[in-house]
Chain A
């Protein structure tokens, strides 16, 4: 009994000490008070040096909280009780949040860096006139291959994945919209189709890919590809950039016939409170020098034209991550589909996963 009691007291003392230390640490870094900005971002999706620089230049301290899916972020902002000043949803989620009245319009008169952006990444269907969103990064969906096991000429198109020589060799990213979308491209259909028959055909087409599919996994794909576990993967360009950094035999291809073009965007949710900090941050991040630094750190493609010009030539001309105009013209942006259509995509996709 005595030992139990001292154990409990000990535990409480440790907890108290930890709470005190973390609080005093927070105080010294100045996260309480009005000179703050609460940023709700994907994990490891901003160069931490930029946050320090921002604080030095403007005096605003940035609190970063992270999420791992658009849906999780949506749920948290929608349920309230949070005080995020800026969030970073993907394009379809921008329209969804817009419809749910969770966003506040951008005050363009307070934005100084708008002219730095490449026109072709503005005014997209998910947010016409960019009333609510400022593009942060863009990217594609493509094929990652290992040149030790696969020749570049063998995987230039989606259809190549169906080749019988790739039996049990492909890893797919576990995302209904992207994998169904890939299948739709090979059927020469829109990645935003709402026709149940077309989606059924896309599932049938995927079922014929099943013998080639080694696994349907998520973030772990990066680790597997770096460790040579599989020669081929279908994944997003951002993930691919990290893989390429970890294994020099890996390469990334965006099939010319079409693929997804995605955007992550900075938006102001309804929960925002610190407007001066928000606009200071948006302007800071659209400065070419800072955007370029961020792009080099993250490895994704920046929509900031002037920032791109500042990147090293080897990055700028990298066909893998800044594809040529012809390829870009064939890329499709996901539209926010009605919930019952999203459900249809997922049901068909689930059936494909059950198939193998």
Chain B
């Protein structure tokens, strides 16, 4: 792959580094929305970290350190704003997350260390999400209610009503814990699957509405297929209309817009205990996955560069600080990878492990799966 594809065109860099104000502002604005500089810098830093991790991840897939990369460069603005606003914890009092595989920004913003991502990418036994079994970005974090991510597009929308149902009941019984919601995230291509409709329908049974925040990050492509060729020229969010679900389509590349849209949607779900459909228009900067080359697409809006310029223009940050933050993020990603590559891989003995939970009523597999019944191939550890 030619290196030139990884570097931005020259002219952009020159324009971007010049601040236009001298006095530090109190807020960063987008239209009528505003965000404190303190929060904007937090969002920016998490976006930078996410980008650095994704770029390092793509390198891993090309260097032989990993087989396959898929992720969300171009979705950092929306994903970081989402992750920072999650009520994180375990059990129905907290938010449940049914994510898809472009959500590194959500997890990093929630506090996941980079190495939890690279261990999965490098298929290590130390991979806490899947013990080296799943693709990268297929997180599973029980202490934060992040249920296992699957590669199967959109099945998460069929599961979301279940967690939301338990949360709604829990809140009715425990009024002090009545703000947990279910957040389900998918892409616009997957919204063609029936499971998307399942979520709309099951969340709006009369009198039994569910606190589900349905998120569609719309990057306009399903692998290679343009949405305009396979979907009516209407926003995906319009699918909420026949169900009477409140909905909005936003520019997901603008963190100020995204932050407030997520805040509005979450507030509604938390307080009204009803569903909300939020569609965020986002970019896809490195194509679908490593299977399509993962080369940088310079025709897409880069939310990170755009926000960086906005912060510079507002005088909220200077070029030196940006350089330092970028170096820090890159170093953090490099160190995570270096440590990851020293760690052990799963072995032959691990193939059956974690299939079954221990069961007092199973005469054959009281502890875990051990191979075909009556033929213990491997001793139980």
Do these two chains really belong together in a complex?
Answer: no
